[in-house]
Amino acid sequence: MNPRITDVKPIEGYKLSLKFTSGENGLYDCSPLLNFGVFRELRDVNYFNKAKVVDGTVAWPNEQDICPDTLYIDAIKNAKTKSRRQPKAQRLI
């Protein structure tokens, strides 16, 4: 099973900034969907910006949603980011 969504932020150009349960981040472009059926409503930017996480995927108030597997497979992913501690400065004597 592919990772699920833990956080979503709509961004300019009908894109979604996603966080996955794997710790990865991704960018998913919704613009190819905007001319199809129920997704036409997403062309309204104010409505598009109402995207939220529901049961591990992205959904909108009028029940449009995108399969979480599609989001994971098609998203452009960034490498996992791990917290990196900066080494303490060494004192020169």
Q: Which residues, including other chains, have CB under 8 Å from residue 20's CB and lie 6 or more apart? A: 3, 4, 5, 6, 26, 72, 77
Q: Are 5 and 53 in contact (CB under 8 A)?
A: yes
Taking Cα atoms as reference points, which of 71, 88, 90 lies closest to residue 20? 71
Sheet holding 5-11, edge to edge: 5-11, 15-20, 25-29, 76-78
Please count the other Cβ atoms lying within 10 Å of the Cβ belonging to residue 4: 16
Whole-number Å distance between alpha carbons of 11 and 13: 6
Whole-number Å distance between alpha carbons of 29 and 90: 46
pLDDT digits (tens, 9 = 90+) for 3-16: 999 999 999 999 99
pLDDT digits (tens, 9 = 90+) for 24-76: 999 999 999 999 999 999 999 999 999 999 999 999 999 999 999 999 999 99
Q: What is the pTM of this model?
A: 0.81
Domains (range + CATH), the chain: 5-78 (3.30.2020.10)
Q: Residue 54 has what pLDDT?
A: 98
